[in-house]
Chains A and B, each alone.
Chain A
Amino acid sequence: MENVGVCDEFVNLKATELRLGLPGTEDEKQKVSCGKSNKRALPETEKDIESTGKTETASPPKAQIVGWPPVRSYRKNSIQTKKNEAEGQGMYVKVSMDGAPYLRKIDLTMYKQYPELMKSLENMFKFSVGEYFEREGYKGSDFVPTYEDKDGDWMLVGDVPWEMFVSSCKRLRIMKGSEAKGLGCGV
């Protein structure tokens, strides 16, 4: 018996049932993304979900259900970090810019060297970073790119070899103005 066929039947049966519960995994995702409102999705919305043709045996759900699977966050964080590092599934780090209303995230594995990264940051936040000098740091701009390393220290981007930077960078912060001066922004 074809699983897909059975599931279609199953899903349709459920769709005609007069209940407020939602039939399939895809619907769970929809529920979560509906801004956690107290009102459940109306039947019309459910039909929309089914008409996209997804069944329970389709590709595994990519969206994450809050608190599922029931694994302690401590353990989840531990496994997740290791997986990302091992499989090269992207190293997403937060990027904050002084004065910007919200943070961004970038995937460090998308870049091969510092200039690419700088260009991308400059585009993202619409600023320019000046020129890097080994001794004086960044010159020619009010903005200084810094990062937090594994030890919790704030370092100037560009000092260490690229690979070392990628493996130790936990988050990025683009400092601006007078605070930036302390990190060797010689202007």
Chain B
Amino acid sequence: QTDDKINSEPKIKKLEPVLLPGEIVVNEVNFVRKCIATDTSQYDLWGKLICSNFKISFITDDPMPLQKFHYKNLLLGEHDVPLTCIEQIVTVNDHKRKQKVLGPNQKLKFNPTELIIYCKDFRVVRFRFDESGPESAKKVCLAIAHYSQPTDLQLLFAFEYVGKKYHNSVSSINGMSSGAGGAAGGGAASGSSQKTPLFESYSDWDREIKRTGASSWRVCSVNEGYMIATCLPEYFVVPSSLADQDLKIFSHSFVGRRMPLWCWSHSNGSALVRMALIKDVLQQRKIDQRICNAITKSHPQRSDVHKSDLDKTLPNIQDVQAAFVKLKHLCVNEPFEETEEKWLSSLESTRWLEYIRTFLKHSAELVYILERKHLSVILQEEEGRDLSCVVASLIQVMLDPHFRTITGFQSLIQKEWVMTGYQFLDRCNHLKRSEKESPLFLLFLDATWQLLEQYPAAFEFSETYLAVLHDSTRISLFGTFLFNSPHQRVKQSTEFAISKNIQLGDEKGLKFPSVWDWSLQFTAKDRTLFHNPLYIGKSTPCVQNGSVKSFKRTKKSYSSTLRGMPPSLKNGVISDPEFLPRRNSLILKLKPEPPEQAESQNSGVEQYFRDWFSTPVDLHGVILPRLSGIHIKLWKLCYFRWVPEAQISSGGAITAFHKASVLVDEVDVLSRMLRQHRGGPLPACFSETDQSRMYFQASGPHAASGTPDFLSSTFPFSPVGSLCRRSISGTPFSKFLSGARIWLSTETLANED
């Protein structure tokens, strides 16, 4: 490996890490070479590798080669990896041809010449220690292994960070500085003044009841102080006919005391409810009956309740995890060229897309029950806090356009994931106790991406937003994705506060920063990349018959376009959307429902789907996923962004996104000018500030001069900093590791040290 010394002598310079409050450097090593994704090592960077209690950081003076844009996370340098994002640590000594996967508190019997970090977000980062002190290299490796695999939740950096903030605030003023309280909205990011409701309070739930028009449902506070169940929120919504006293009694019969929780109500009165299994066999029928009756009573038509047993219809969390591991291997691990040949069959055999499809399909079928059959739906699952989160969220994204806005989507995640006790700590495996890991949240984001891909004008947010949101689950700074339940936050942080002498006053636990306070991670400019330029919001202006109107739709406007010439079937293809009646039109609704007859439910669903797909989409109504094989795609931005070989330079969907953004910006500018001429009121979508909503602007430095050079299919991410798997000093990477599969299982290598 000596021929690698292409670069000049390692620089001797003081390189200082950028640290957050409460962050401390645990160990560091100088003269480290970071390998860069090119064929040669000529672009490799020299610098210092540090391990802190929050991240590993590579500090260098060398500029990042081959990268012409900056999309920077304010919490992390471009070479940094948060400790909670680390999946596996492999140390190598290539002279002795030894390697070892480092667990916590393990010994290392050789001095590593190389450190390879496999990240949960599919990055692979590689450092070489040819010029560094062998002992300090070893120490850093061990420190990384130790600190990335903490034994206790309170050792996660967020505690240290928030503790420091409290201390600082006491010494300065009473109250928190930035990031205080979770209620920081998508405000600055979304251009709307709305804040994301966190559903920690009574009033958030109450507002949601009113927003959906759910009569006969009430907010219940029996769980205040987590008196009934520690995995439920303090406030939740139940049928009005169920008294607190009954709920208290029933709660004992449910797994985890998780009684029925209302999620959402359709405008037709059908409700979406989730609940755990009733474990008490003797009471089962009785309680079940009581619950169903109560839900029926809360339905304006007193309709029956449809129950969906998710454990029986969907893959379980282990299945999903297994699929994800296979997907990860396929996307990251295997030598690129080897996977090319059988790419499609390999991809199919991961079953990832199949599972995405299954979740989407099942959710769409329940949309049919709620929307067409006017029945309330109960999602039933053993504990009711895994598959239910995905299905409840997808149903609401499909049915309610509010959840397709940024603020709405964030409130949905608060409502169906964070507050309802999705076990982020275990499922994200922040503490590396791998048996409970499962990427259900990613599965939900991926399924949402499928809908965004199919209905690009129906969502306020972009795919970058979804990818960045996923990345945020790997940063152990936000309280949002750190805990198994809201109660765990309160309990653990109260303990922590006591141990650190922090005065909580009347606050319930420490207030961790919320992930929805995007200003902690991105500048205002960078946050504009979350905005989908194609989105048609409620008040987005549009041109109709040559005159500009806003998209405000009343029921009246539906009927105006109802009848027209019958469309013809051309070449056996039925498609003439313009002449078809609008979905949700009055006339459709006035027509008698098709007689149910002996028609099996399946054909009813299919009929519903066929009807829906044969009429034009109302982007402010229901959207249903297309489910055939060709319509469920791999989310390339998310899974390929760190693979240099898969990067399309100056190409990818982002180039069209760029064009659309510039155009939207132009339209905004023109609209503002028109307004100034007229002195008229502002359309709601424009903020008072003159700051553009769009990342790419008409008058910016790249104005009208074509596609900027730095765009590529991975934008705003760059695979340059990730490891090149093509070859290392001419040796294919897989062979370099003696043919061992990367992502080595710990057992395989346990006895190799």
Q: Do A and B bind?
A: no
A interface residues, Cβ below 8 angstroms from B: none
B interface residues, Cβ below 8 angstroms from A: none
